[in-house]
Amino acid sequence: MKLILSCTVVLIVILTGISSQAQEPLTLYDNFESKYLDPDLWFGSVETFTGGWVLESGRQIKTEPTYGYKGLTLLHRGYGSTDSDSGRATMRNRLYFSDGTKITTIQAKVQAKKVQVIGCTANPDPTYVEAHIGGLFFNTGTPTPGSALNDVFAAVSLIRLSDSTESLNVLEVIGYALHCTSANCSTYTWIGDTGESLGTALVGQRVKLRITWDQANHRFVFQRGKTPEVYLPYDSVSFPDTSPPGSSFGGYKRLNVTDYVANCTSQPRPVGFIEVYFDDVYVNQSAAP
20 in a structural domain? no
DSSP one-letter string for 101-144: TT--EEEEEEEEEEEEEE--TT-SSPPEEEEEEEEEEEESS-PP
Distance, CA of 108 to CA of 98 (rounded, Å): 17
The pTM (predicted TM-score) of the whole model is 0.90
3-state secondary structure of 260: strand
pLDDT at residue 22, as a whole number: 52
103-143: pLDDT as tens digits = 999 999 999 999 999 999 999 999 999 999 999 999 999 99
159-200: pLDDT as tens digits = 999 999 999 999 999 999 999 999 999 999 999 988 999 999
Distance, CA of 62 to CA of 68 (rounded, Å): 10
pLDDT at residue 12, as a whole number: 33
- Along the 289 residues of the chain, how does pLDDT read in single tens digits? 333 333 333 333 333 333 334 579 999 999 999 999 999 999 998 877 778 889 899 999 999 999 999 999 999 999 999 999 999 999 999 999 999 999 999 999 999 999 999 999 999 999 999 999 999 999 999 999 999 999 999 999 999 999 999 999 999 999 999 999 999 999 999 999 889 999 999 999 999 999 999 999 999 999 999 999 999 999 999 999 999 999 999 999 999 999 999 999 999 999 999 999 999 999 999 999 8
pLDDT at residue 21, as a whole number: 40
Count the neighbouring beta carbons within 10 Å of the beta carbon of residue 106. 28
Q: Could you give the number of structural domains in the chain?
A: 1
Whose CA is closest to 152, among 238, 216, 93? 238
Distance, CA of 122 to CA of 127 (rounded, Å): 12
178 in a structural domain? yes
pLDDT at residue 11, as a whole number: 33
Domain range for residue 221? 28-287
200 in a structural domain? yes
Beta carbons of 45 and 57 less than 8 angstroms apart = no
Distance, CA of 229 to CA of 153 (rounded, Å): 19
194 in a structural domain? yes
Count the neighbouring beta carbons within 10 Å of the beta carbon of residue 49. 16
Q: Is the bond into 268 cis (omega within 30 degrees of 0)?
A: yes
With a CB cutoff of 8 Å and minimum separation 6, the contacts of 1 are none
Beta carbons of 278 and 158 less than 8 angstroms apart = no
54 in a structural domain? yes
Quote the DSSP letter at residue 265: S
pLDDT at residue 50, as a whole number: 78
Distance, CA of 80 to CA of 265 (rounded, Å): 10
With a CB cutoff of 8 Å and minimum separation 6, the contacts of 168 are 203
Phi, psi of 17 (to 5 degrees): -65, -40
Domain containing residue 110: CATH number: 2.60.120
